[in-house]
Amino acid sequence: MKIINVGNYQELSERAAKIVIETVQNKPNAVLGLATGSTPIGLYNELIDDHAKNGTSYRKICTFNLDEYVGLEGSHPQSYLYFMRQHLFNHIDISSENTFIPNGKAEDMMKECERYEELIKEKGGIDLQILGIGQNGHIGFNEPGTSFSSRTHIIQLTESTRKANSRFFSSMDEVPTHAVTVGIQTIMESRKILLLVSGQAKMEAFKRLLSDEIDESFPASVLKLHNDVTVITDIAFDN
Ligand code: GLP
């Protein structure tokens, strides 16, 4: 893992945006893997600014989001589809035909998972996967204990994840109990991975990422087995 330490969240967002923009410029039909959560919002803002100022085009870009809550309509303000439209898709020249997010309301969720995996393959696989990290080390919604060989699947969210994400809902009861997420194997097949780790709340997770054994009890540890991972962090930490 290549680790880039930056001074603050703005710098983290700019460094990350630079990598995404380079990817898009070098390969105008690149396939991007996108993440939600508060961490990548600054990156998306930078991409929007750059699109407006420099005209970087996403017309041929295809995107796959990592995950979605089970049971939320795309029109629900806390759905990840809504999030992506609000924070990125509505502000750049990407075609809605090229943006993919698992459907959390599919009638047959098993089929939905298979369909999603097939689509990623059909589009040639992910060139650049953007990741955040959960306080418990989850990537996407792959909670501790998820098999490293997992593909897109349904997961029961841990109480700690529901609690961490409850800040976006009006009450804890409204936080979905399940999510659909690409698997750890799916993430590991991405050609390049960019992990963003920001804020004191992630200090413990970051320390564990650096020091823990590679083990399914800490999902992000798997990234140490990938040959092209860049971690950008604004956490000052002497190891
Ligand atoms: C959610 C998402 C993850 C994200 C994590 C951290 O659980 N499914 O993809 O990395 O939250 O979010 P935040 O960046 O808000 O801390």
Per-residue pLDDT tens digits for 74-127: 999 999 999 999 999 999 999 999 999 999 999 999 999 999 999 999 999 999
Whether 193 has a pLDDT exceeding 70, the answer reads yes
For ligand 1, the distance from its centroid to the CA atom of residue 36, given in whole angstroms, is: 6
Whether 210 has a pLDDT exceeding 60, the answer reads yes
Length of the chain: 239
Name the DSSP class of 32: E
At 173 the pLDDT is 94
CATH number reported for the structural domain that contains residue 95 in this entry: 3.40.50.1360
Confidence of residue 239 (pLDDT cuts 50, 70, 90): low
Residue 149 within any structural domain of the chain:
yes
Residue 55 exposed, middle or buried by CB count within 10 Å (0-12, 13-18, 19+)? exposed
Residue 184 within any structural domain of the chain:
yes
pLDDT tens column, 21-77: 999 999 999 999 999 999 999 999 999 999 999 999 999 999 999 999 999 999 999
* Residue written as token pair 């054994």: 213
**What residues are annotated to the active site?**
67, 136, 138, 143
- Are the CB atoms for 131 and 137 separated by under 8 Å? no
What is the rounded (10 degree) CA torsion for 55, 100, 197, 69? 140
Residue 211 within any structural domain of the chain:
yes
At 77 the pLDDT is 94
Residue 100 within any structural domain of the chain:
yes
Residue 218 within any structural domain of the chain:
yes
Whether 1 has a pLDDT exceeding 60, the answer reads yes
Distance CA 128, CA 26 (A): 12
Closest CA to 139 of 150, 127, 131: 131
At 56 the pLDDT is 98
Distance CA 155, CA 171 (A): 21
Confidence of residue 238 (pLDDT cuts 50, 70, 90): low
Residue 239 within any structural domain of the chain:
no
For ligand 1, whether the C-beta of 66 sits within 6 Å is yes
Confidence of residue 206 (pLDDT cuts 50, 70, 90): very high
For ligand 1, whether the C-beta of 134 sits within 6 Å is yes
Percent of the chain with pLDDT over 70: 99
Quote the distance between the C-alpha of residue 191 and its chain's center.
15
Residue 238 within any structural domain of the chain:
no
Q: Which atom of ligand 1 is nearest to the CA of 38?
A: 15
Task: Centre a 10 Å sphere on the Cβ of residue 148 and count the other Cβ atoms it contains.
Answer: 17
Taking residues 139-162, report their average pLDDT: 96
Domain coverage including residue 151: 2-233
Q: Record the tokens describing residue 90, joined without a space.
A: 């509505």
Residue 65 exposed, middle or buried by CB count within 10 Å (0-12, 13-18, 19+)? buried
Residue 174 within any structural domain of the chain:
yes
For ligand 1, the distance from its centroid to the CA atom of residue 78, given in whole angstroms, is: 13
Q: Is 180 left (phi over 0), alpha (psi -120 to 50) or beta?
A: beta
Number of domains in the chain: 1
Confidence of residue 236 (pLDDT cuts 50, 70, 90): confident
